[in-house]
Amino acid sequence: MTEAILSIRNVTVEIPTRHGIFKPVKNVSYDIKPGEIRGVVGESGAGKSMTGNAVIGLLDDPAYISEGEIWLKGRRIDNLPAEEKRRIRGKEISMIFQDPLTSLNPLFTVGEQLVETIQLHLNLGASEAKARAIALLDAVAIPNPEERFNQYPHQFSGGMRQRVVIALALCSEPSVIVADEPTTALDVSIQAQVLDLIKSLARERSIGVILVTHDMGVIADTTEQVTVMYAGEVVEMGTTDQVLGAPQHPYTQSLIAAVPRPHKKRHRFPQVSYGGRETVFKIDDLARNWPQSEPSKSGKMLEVKGLTKRFVEKSSIIPSRTTYFTAVDNVSFDIRDGEVFGIVGESGSGKSTVARMIATLHKTDGGQILFDGEDVTAMDAQQLAGYRKQIQMIFQDPFSSLNPRMKVGDIVAEPLIHHKILPKGQTDARVRELLDKVGLARGADQKYPHEFSGGQRQRISIARAIATQPRFLICDEPTSALDVSIQAQILNILKDLQEYLGLTMLFISHDLPVVRQMCDRVAVMKSGQLIEVNDAETLFEAPEHPYTAELLTLMPHLAQLDEA
């Protein structure tokens, strides 16, 4: 039997606070064998990332390991002096972080950062380090590695930046890699490439991998062993097939039930109810005071005709020498009254650019946007104000879309005040009602965005979006950064909005199972062009375009969950 390369034994992490000792990790134990990929799953705050940080020695003060031991290749490492821990970190144990932009220095080329890391851990000269860096870029499938060596992080796509981070993690030939949500923000095709790369590296180099993720599709397709954490503790552990196919613990059962199935459609998403965590929202109550949504004149709430958008790729003082990149190329579709219309495609396909043009956040370079028959592109300022009142947008990252200097009540009240919807004396009561209906506790209006979790911040964004009682809602990747349980809650709120309030929605996502659950019709985009539009079930069961079929083959199959 192969011995473990890394052993975590009864580890507890404590954080002293003014209210006492907080334990985000409690008595956690599991092993990693050479070449093994162990998935660690659970909701936000479960202790997944904190355990990984404890392993690599990156706990932020005042957090510390109060109990337990961590052993690497038969040597205990948690009690080593800081300097010895630093030598192990990066050389023996590497880390792949969730956001590659925070891992890469924007002021240095990718090659400089690789060479620096290589020379720090390996006794190599400059030319040898450069040759090794280029070989690593090639090993992680970055095209033209000699040329890319001299480029900066901003010149790489999200998927390519994540490959660079993986190359950095491999610089010192580590024994263990901690991968903390390495594919959260990636579309399905790039995600598949990154996961295939991690699997092949683990297999070929006998590297043990701790894969921290909330994505059950990633767990199903990538890992051999799974550890399930809840409130800092391990509640279940076993092989991937066992844990996903026949979960024993009530929390694991509840968590798996909330996962969107890629091959069948459900009316609602089951809630994670273990431990009293289920959140109630009351959109049906809100509907009683919601004005009946006016049907459009033609039955089509929105029509897009020949929409085009270009961005400057390389500017020049001589206009003829300025080069442009066409992000959206002659796109046309319509969205019917009360419909949830989805757009899918890889990063850079133009999905979000289309949404931003519809929301008038980007100007168009060609084509028309018709809202209830009126040409938005030809509206004057007064007409645009009326249009913007009827459409609202929910963004991917609620933290960046909510003003951190404003209280939540003021954030939700802002569109009510801007559009002069209610007398000033009635605004506060309306704000409290909206926050209550999306499941936020009393007093939420007096807090700031940083005092809420990611899922709660997205609820605030939804409350703000529906404050003006819009007819049309744009959802741009509204759940991509949320764990499966919070995702289920947010998607159920959106379903309720559509059902009870009669809202029409544009839903953009790279998560294909979620798109199948949410959307009535789906459009597929590639390289700025619309290549297929069809009913959701028809598109998923019998795609017409080869690219759509290819995307669907990359979708996590989750075969084990069909047995659960």
DSSP category for residue 469: -
Is the domain spanning 283-316+323-563 CATH 3.40.250.10? The answer is no
pLDDT at 395: 85
Residue where the block lists tokens 């909510």: 402
Pull the structure tokens for residue 532. Answer: 């297929």
Rounded to an integer, the average pLDDT of 17-36 is 92
For 493-515, give the DSSP string.
HHHHHHHHH--EEEEE-S-HHHH
Q: Does position 359 have pLDDT exceeding 90, yes or no?
A: yes
Q: Which helix (H) or strand (E) holds 433?
A: helix 424-437
Residue 17's contacts (CB-CB under 8 Å, 6 or more residues apart) are: none
List pLDDT tens digits, range 504-523: 999 998 888 889 989 999 99
Planar angle of CA 511, 455, 289, nearest 5 degrees: 100
pLDDT band (50, 70, 90) for residue 344? very high
pLDDT at 380: 92
Considering only 232-236, 422-426, 521-525, which range has the smallest mean pLDDT? 422-426
Q: Does position 306 have pLDDT exceeding 90, yes or no?
A: yes
pLDDT at 483: 77
pLDDT at 289: 66
Least Cα distance to 178 among 166, 190, 189 occurs for: 166
Residue 312 burial (CB count, 10 A): 10
Return d(Cα 212, Cα 220) in angstroms, integer.
Answer: 13
Beta bridge partners of 532: 524
Question: Is there a cis peptide before residue 62, judged by omega within 30 degrees of 0?
Answer: yes
Yes or no: say if 259 and 73 are a contact pair by the CB < 8 Å rule.
Answer: no
Domain boundaries for CATH 3.40.50.300 within the chain: 6-257, 283-316+323-563
Return d(Cα 226, Cα 223) in angstroms, integer.
Answer: 7
More confident residue, 554 or 360: 360
Rounded to an integer, the average pLDDT of 386-396 is 90
List pLDDT tens digits, range 171-216: 888 899 999 888 776 777 777 888 888 898 899 889 999 999 888 8
Q: Does position 114 have pLDDT exceeding 90, yes or no?
A: yes
Return d(Cα 65, Cα 206) in angstroms, integer.
Answer: 28
Q: Does position 101 have pLDDT exceeding 90, yes or no?
A: no
% the chain with pLDDT above 90: 44
Residue where the block lists tokens 């931003």: 356
Residue 217: phi and psi, rounded to 5, are -65, -40
Yes or no: say if 515 and 507 are a contact pair by the CB < 8 Å rule.
Answer: yes
Return d(Cα 525, Cα 521) in angstroms, integer.
Answer: 14
Least Cα distance to 427 among 412, 439, 440, 408 occurs for: 412
Considering only 338-347, 379-388, 392-401, 442-451, which range has the smallest mean pLDDT? 392-401
Return d(Cα 456, Cα 449) in angstroms, integer.
Answer: 9
pLDDT at 277: 52
Strand blocks (E) in 195-339: 208-212, 225-230, 233-239, 300-314, 323-336
Burial label for 250, CB within 10 Å (0-12, 13-18, 19+), is middle
pLDDT band (50, 70, 90) for residue 140? confident
pLDDT band (50, 70, 90) for residue 93? very high
Residue where the block lists tokens 């009240």: 413
pLDDT at 46: 86
Q: Which helix (H) or strand (E) holds 68?
A: strand 64-72
pLDDT at 479: 82
Return d(Cα 155, Cα 36) in angstroms, integer.
Answer: 33
The CATH number that domain 6-257 falls under is: 3.40.50.300
Residues constituting the chain? 564
Q: Which helix (H) or strand (E) holds 466?
A: helix 454-466
Beta bridge partners of 300: 336
More confident residue, 177 or 163: 177
Identity of the highest mean pLDDT range in 138-152, 283-297, 513-527: 513-527
Identity of the highest mean pLDDT range in 151-165, 313-327, 514-528: 514-528
The single-letter code of the amino acid at 30 is Y
Yes or no: say if 433 and 442 are a contact pair by the CB < 8 Å rule.
Answer: no
Return d(Cα 436, Cα 162) in angstroms, integer.
Answer: 39
More confident residue, 454 or 283: 454
pLDDT at 109: 94
Tell me the Cα Rg of the chain: 25
List pLDDT tens digits, range 472-501: 999 988 887 677 777 888 888 888 888 877
Kindly report the pTM of this predicted structure. 0.79
Pull the structure tokens for residue 340. Answer: 């949830």
Whole-number average pLDDT of the chain: 87
pLDDT at 20: 86
Yes or no: say if 544 and 534 are a contact pair by the CB < 8 Å rule.
Answer: yes
pLDDT band (50, 70, 90) for residue 287? low
Considering only 209-218, 279-288, 322-331, which range has the smallest mean pLDDT? 279-288
% the chain with pLDDT above 70: 92
Pure H helices in 171-287:
188-205, 216-222, 240-245, 250-257, 283-287
Considering only 111-115, 184-188, 190-194, 363-367, which range has the smallest mean pLDDT? 184-188
Q: Does position 564 have pLDDT exceeding 50, yes or no?
A: no
pLDDT band (50, 70, 90) for residue 291? low
